[in-house]
Amino acid sequence: MAEPLIRFERVRLDYQGRNVLDELSLDIAEGEFVCLVGPSGCGKTTLLRLLAGLVAADAGQVLLRGQPVRKPTPEVAVVFQDYGRALLPWRTAAGNVSLALEAAGVPRVQREARIAALLAKVGLGCHAGKYPMQLSGGMQQRLQIARCLAQQPKVLLMDEPFGALDALTRQSLQDEALALVRETGATVLFVTHDLEEALYLGHRVVALQANPGRVAAEVEVRLPWPRAQLSTREHPEFLALRHRLYGLVQAH
């Protein structure tokens, strides 16, 4: 078998005297869309922070392409739930996307065309000159995703990115996220509390248990691609997986 793109190897992390993660091991293949579910406090966001290089494990290893993750890298981009705080309010939509290009050292003369293409890709082509406060919540989240894509990441970490949005906007962005992942080939680690969202998006759903956080169960999702909001959610396999996943989460 091919070496996994991402490997959490017997990871332990303590915070303020509390054992947040313990002996947690998980492999993620290149191009895989893996969803993390579990109760609050089980370490889902902590896993993202470890992989992003924002915190270090107390024991074990976090590996990317076989190399230990010790600091942030442009290969890994994070989409946060709180898009309002993630965006710079004094910069326009174009200016927010430009931030990632500036950090990467892209020459000014090349930025305009790349920014326009990225905004168009997320449906914001006509809103380049608007500030975040002039955009709806769904549009702000699209903008944050565009800024992440500007890094051309190999790994996209998404921390409940649609949790604060209304149902219709959330479903629309789920489909857009799947389309962008297919187009870019990115590997995704996606945190959610919504079991149906996890099954709809993922190739695999990993359920964590708390106190301390560790892998409780893994569920392969073999639903047909491409996914569709109505037909996929009404598919007998989807309903069976939902019942199975709910039982696993409740048991832990």
Domain ranges of the chain: 1-75+153-252, 78-152
Short-list 212, 216, 221, 214, CA closest to 241: 221
Predicted confidence at residue 1, as pLDDT, reads: 59
- Does residue 29 carry a pLDDT above 80? yes
Q: What is the mean pLDDT of the chain?
A: 95
CATH class of the region 1-75+153-252: alpha beta
**Three-state helix/strand/coil letters over 117-165:** HHHHHCCCCCCCCCCHHHCCHHHHHHHHHHHHHCCCCCEEEEECCCCCC
Q: How far apart are CA 85 and CA 217, in angstroms?
A: 33
Q: What percent of the chain has a predicted confidence (pLDDT) above 70?
A: 99
pLDDT at 249: 82
SS3 category, 192: coil
Q: Which of 207, 193, 203 is nearest to 159 (CA)?
A: 193
Read off the pLDDT of residues 135-164 as tens digits, 9 standing for 90 and up: 999 999 999 999 999 999 999 999 999 998
Question: What's the average model confidence in pLDDT over 96-125?
Answer: 95
Going by pLDDT thresholds of 50, 70 and 90, the confidence category of residue 251 is confident
- pLDDT for res 2: 75
